Structure 1
């Protein structure tokens, strides 16, 4: 549990917010400009601090917010019906409570999925959408041949029970193991330093973390975890930026082809020599791509001639 108000030079002012009876952590840096605010949504297992290299740069001349999704980071490790719908509701209620004007949602991995679903459900909230890879859990189910689905899902259910997951959780949350799987996720190994490992290793030590992990593992296997990205993508009318590391081993680069050509507003940028988290592995390249896109697509104002 963090203090109610805490300042961090790279992620801004941190505060706690009570949402549906659960404690949620967020941060913000305010800027007095007319530029569209940004709301950062982290990926699975990550937290606000994963944007520590980006918040000072993107927040230099615009207001930025970052939110820890329920179950992650400094937010409550609750036993809850996890899924895109729950996190989208959290993002929307946060936006209504603290922002109230259209934002650019910037997400990574799970955060990309949540940001996408939020933009689809609440278009009044979103002026632009920037995503670092985009998992579509419905593609996984379709990839398993129908004759084998029952068997595959039964095996997964067995290994997703508390008797198996709880010992596994206590094993994999060790910093040495976290460092190993992050090096698998990152192409640029030099980015995997002690600070990053500590960011990822601290939340699993919170009270209730193991039970939340079991609830998350159970929810992600359910067919209702998320709607189909492919089905919703053509409906979005906002600017969309999709960046994808060519060496992404967690959400493979080859999956990007499932989304290309489905929406004329989507700009796709493949990133060389980066893995699952380009914003943290190679922040300079990420900033070179997103800053001009923000200026051109999301900060435009309409001039009225009378």
Structure 2
């Protein structure tokens, strides 16, 4: 893996994925999960504090259905450093667009979870030629007006363990990579006990590697701040949704502690042409909690719009 500060290119191999690198104004890491060279591509985009490894359970189902599948490490996340570039959501939307243009050379079905959902909605609303369809998996959205502070409090809870992992030793309050990932998954899963242990272990290995990146904490802060700025205004977000011309699938778990289910219902009400799936046994990360169901829902939806594998 040229130009990447890592010794962990094998992390996704169990799921048929290979870490690669491409220069998009600097090295960008991504997982190539394979699939027929002439097939329609999926590009999977993770959320705040996440990584391409978030999709290792979902990607094989899409590949086995005949699609090409890629998952990207956004700037400031995973193995994509944010040393000489910004980790803002706008810059990461640009990164995803460049990835589609330079790696794929054709429009893709783009799927995003949490902050990744915000990013793919920004991309689809401004560069419709880059997308065939949009999948929003518990996307970052404005907080319900009745309790605007609740999502912000949950956001702080999400990023605190990673922050402690970076600066904890200096403050004599260390947190282990295992504890960091466990906290995050407990917060994001409706039922922590259903986690896939090998996926968990891969995330821990990545957390260990990222502690070598001194810019990681600042990059996470930039991503969090700009995500909040882009989702604070209900009207602006709805206007963005209305500019999306591609088909949209929205999946949201009722047990999401980070993005309230009422936000998803608000988005669906304002966009009746979207397909909406609401799952009562799911938290913030359906692709990690229920990957087979997520894949089946996505595949049925793309096929209903004539977006066939090849």
Q: Shorter-chain TM-score category?
A: 0.7 to 0.9
Contact 1:179 1:197 in 2 (8 A): no
Contact 1:13 1:29 in 2 (8 A): yes
Pairs within 5 Å for 1:99-248: 99-137=104-142, 139=143, 167=167, 171=174, 174-192=177-195, 193=197, 195-196=199-200, 198-199=202-203, 201-202=207-208, 204-208=210-214, 209-220=216-227, 222=229, 228-248=236-256
| TM-score, normalising length: structure 2 | 0.79
Contact 1:80 1:212 in 2 (8 A): no
Contact 2:238 2:267 in 1 (8 A): yes
Q: Which runs of 5+ in 2 are unaligned?
A: none
Q: SS of the counterpart of 1:27?
A: strand
Q: SS of the counterpart of 2:270?
A: coil
Could you say if the C-alpha distance between residues 210 and 141 of structure 1 is closer, same or farther in structure 2, counting changes exceeding 3 Å?
Answer: farther
Q: Which runs of 5+ in 1 are unaligned?
A: 146-151, 302-306
CA displacement at 1:11 relative to structure 2: 4.9
Contact 2:87 2:220 in 1 (8 A): no
CA displacement at 1:245 relative to structure 2: 0.5
Give the count of matched residue pairs.
285
CA displacement at 1:100 relative to structure 2: 1.3
Q: Which residue of 2 aligns with 1:65?
A: 70
CA RMSD of aligned residues (A): 3.4
| TM-score, normalising length: structure 1 | 0.80
Could you say if the C-alpha distance between residues 265 and 78 of structure 1 is closer, same or farther in structure 2, counting changes exceeding 3 Å?
Answer: farther
Between 280-289 and 201-210, the greater mean CA deviation after superposition: 201-210
Over residues 92-143 of structure 1, what are the superposed CA-to-partner deviations in whole Å (9 max), with x where a residue is unaligned?
Answer: 1111111111110011111111111111111001010111112125x58996
Larger Rg: 1
CA distance in 1 between counterparts of 2:20 and 2:46 reads 17
Could you say if the C-alpha distance between residues 224 and 57 of structure 1 is closer, same or farther in structure 2, counting changes exceeding 3 Å?
Answer: closer
